Amino acid sequence: NIGIWFKILHMLAHLAVISNGFLIAFTSEFLPKLLYQYDYNWDLAGYVNFTLAYSPIGAHKQQCRYRGLRDENGNHTPFFWRLLAVQFAFVIIFEHVVFGVCRLIDVLVPDIPESLELKIKRERYLAKQALQDSDSIMKVAAGVEDSIDISKRMVLDLTAELGRGEVSPQEGEAPTIPIQLPSPAGSEPPTIPIQLTSLPPHLPPRRSMTTLNIHQPPTRSIERVRPRPKSQSS
């Protein structure tokens, strides 16, 4: 496909057909001879004298002849008007015949071979599929980033609760947080627990650094302990 040039060449072809029709009708001797043969003589005898008109007699009283279809008074002859009608009719018939033949050839002979058209359609399909896959990957990546942000906030909230003494893990175990990862539509999202391996300063330390371990086995749920009421002094 040559893009916009195809439309430009198509328009130029139409203009060429119309201009050629006018050139054949008005600049050639084809139609005048044909009409003369039909009206007067099929052998074209006297055709040259017929196309030469007599000029009016001037001061020198000499008569000249010039090319034209006029009478002695300079008016157009009836043959001229019939020829003019035939010329316009020829232009209309000529361009319709040429356009019809071009249309027939266009229908019978395709612009693009069938094998090439199939390759173009296949490339368009693959490009569309690649674009859809790219969109899906971007959505999954965005969902993973959102899950990571949520897990970070949950870890910070749990750490704050542990620091205030509102949550107490089981003895010998670190608290865990279940995190749901994004999954395709129609399937259950997988849950991955995140385990804290260090506790706030007022609890017994397990390691010198606070890290996150992601593992698959299920862990015990976190028990919430109500804070003990402070004893009132008597």
Q: Dump pLDDT digits (tens) for 143-185.
A: 666 666 666 666 666 666 555 555 555 555 555 555 555 555 5
In a domain, 226, yes or no: no
Q: How confident is the model at residue 74 (pLDDT cuts 50, 70, 90)?
A: confident
Q: pTM (2 decimals)?
A: 0.48
Of the listed ranges 16-25, 87-96, 168-177, the least confidently predicted one is 168-177
Percent of the chain with pLDDT over 90: 20
Q: Which of 113, 144, 162 finishes a domain?
A: 113
pLDDT value for 164: 58
Q: Which of 59, 80, 113 finishes a domain?
A: 113
In a domain, 121, yes or no: no
Q: Alpha helices, DSSP H only, in the chain?
A: 4-27, 30-39, 47-50, 78-108, 114-164
Residue 98 and residue 17 in contact, taking contact as beta carbons nearer than 8 Å:
yes
114 Cβ neighbours under 8 A, 6+ residues apart: none
pLDDT value for 168: 53
User: Which residues form the domain of 94?
Assistant: 4-113
Tally the domains of the chain.
2
